[in-house]
Structure 1
Amino acid sequence: MTAISTDRQSFGVGVIGGPTTVIDLHGLRIVVDPTFDPPADYGYLHKTAGPAVPAAALGDVDVVLVSHSQHPDNLDTSGREFAVSSPLILSTPSGAAELGPRAAGLTPWERFSHPSGLTITATPALHGPADEVTPEGYVNCEVRGFLIEAPDSPTVYVGGDNASLSVVAEVARRSPRIDVALLNGGGAHVPSKYDDRPLTFTADRVAAAAEILGSPRVVVAHQDGWQHFADGPADTRRAFHRAGLEAVLRAAPLGSWSISDVTPGNPA
Structure 2
Amino acid sequence: MSTIPVRVLGGPTALIEYGGLRLLTDPTFDAPGDYPSAGGPTLTKTAPSTVTPADLGPVDVVLLSHDEHADNLDDSGRALLADVPLTLTTPSGAERLGGSARPLAPWTSVTLDRPDGGTLTVTGAPALHGPDDVEGVEKITGEVVGFVLTSDDLPTVYVSGDNASLTLVGRIAERFGPVDTAVLFAGAPRFPALFDGAPLVLDSAGAAEAARILGARRVVPVHCDSWAHFTEGREDVVAAFRAAGLDDLLRVEA
User: Structure 2 length as normaliser, TM-score?
Assistant: 0.92
Cα distance in structure 2, aligned partners of 1:78 and 1:251: 25
Equivalent residue runs for 1:145-164 within 5 Å? 145-164=146-165
Name the residue aligned to 2:13: 20
* CA-to-aligned-CA distance 1:67-106 (integer Å, 9 cap, x gap): 0000000001101111232100000011101222311111
Name the residue aligned to 2:133: 131
| 3-state SS, counterpart of residue 113 of structure 2 | coil
Cα distance in structure 2, aligned partners of 1:14 and 1:138: 33
Name the residue aligned to 1:29: 22
Aligned residues of 2:145 and 2:161 also touching (Cα < 8 A): yes
Name the residue aligned to 1:185: 186
Residue 217 and residue 138 in structure 1: after superposition, are their counterparts in 2 closer, same or farther (change >3 A)? farther
Cα distance in structure 2, aligned partners of 1:46 and 1:214: 34
Equivalent residue runs for 1:184-203 within 5 Å? 184-203=185-204
1:52 correspondence with 2:53: no
Moved more, 126-135 or 151-160: 126-135
> Could you list the runs of 5+ residues in structure 2 that have no partner in the other structure?
37-41
Name the residue aligned to 2:170: 169
User: Which amino acid counterpart does residue 101 of structure 2 have in structure 1?
Assistant: A
Equivalent residue in structure 2 for 1:122, among 121, 124, 129: 124
Following TM superposition, by how much is the alpha carbon of 1:140 offset from its aligned partner in structure 2, in angstroms? 1.5
Residue 130 and residue 95 in structure 1: after superposition, are their counterparts in 2 closer, same or farther (change >3 A)? same
Q: CA RMSD in A?
A: 1.6
Aligned residues of 1:128 and 1:139 also touching (Cα < 8 A): no
User: Which amino acid counterpart does residue 59 of structure 1 have in structure 2?
Assistant: G
Name the residue aligned to 2:70: 72
| 3-state SS, counterpart of residue 21 of structure 1 | strand
Cα distance in structure 1, aligned partners of 2:232 and 2:15: 22
Following TM superposition, by how much is the alpha carbon of 1:154 offset from its aligned partner in structure 2, in angstroms? 1.7
Name the residue aligned to 2:236: 235
| 3-state SS, counterpart of residue 240 of structure 2 | helix
Cα distance in structure 2, aligned partners of 1:95 and 1:115: 24
Name the residue aligned to 2:207: 206
Cα distance in structure 1, aligned partners of 2:146 and 2:239: 25
Cα distance in structure 2, aligned partners of 1:212 and 1:131: 19
Aligned residues of 2:125 and 2:148 also touching (Cα < 8 A): yes
Cα distance in structure 1, aligned partners of 2:14 and 2:207: 17
Cα distance in structure 2, aligned partners of 1:72 and 1:59: 22
| 3-state SS, counterpart of residue 145 of structure 1 | strand
* Percentage identity across paired residues of the two chains: 47
Cα distance in structure 2, aligned partners of 1:250 and 1:101: 34
Aligned residues of 1:180 and 1:217 also touching (Cα < 8 A): yes
User: Which amino acid counterpart does residue 64 of structure 2 have in structure 1?
Assistant: V
Cα distance in structure 2, aligned partners of 1:58 and 1:141: 29
User: Structure 1 length as normaliser, TM-score?
Assistant: 0.87
| 3-state SS, counterpart of residue 52 of structure 1 | coil
Q: Which 4+ residue blocks in structure 1 deviate beyond 3 angstroms?
A: none
Cα distance in structure 2, aligned partners of 1:148 and 1:83: 20
Aligned residues of 2:10 and 2:49 also touching (Cα < 8 A): yes
Aligned residues of 2:10 and 2:226 also touching (Cα < 8 A): yes
Equivalent residue runs for 1:64-103 within 5 Å? 64-103=62-101
Residue 183 and residue 10 in structure 1: after superposition, are their counterparts in 2 closer, same or farther (change >3 A)? closer
User: Which amino acid counterpart does residue 92 of structure 1 have in structure 2?
Assistant: T
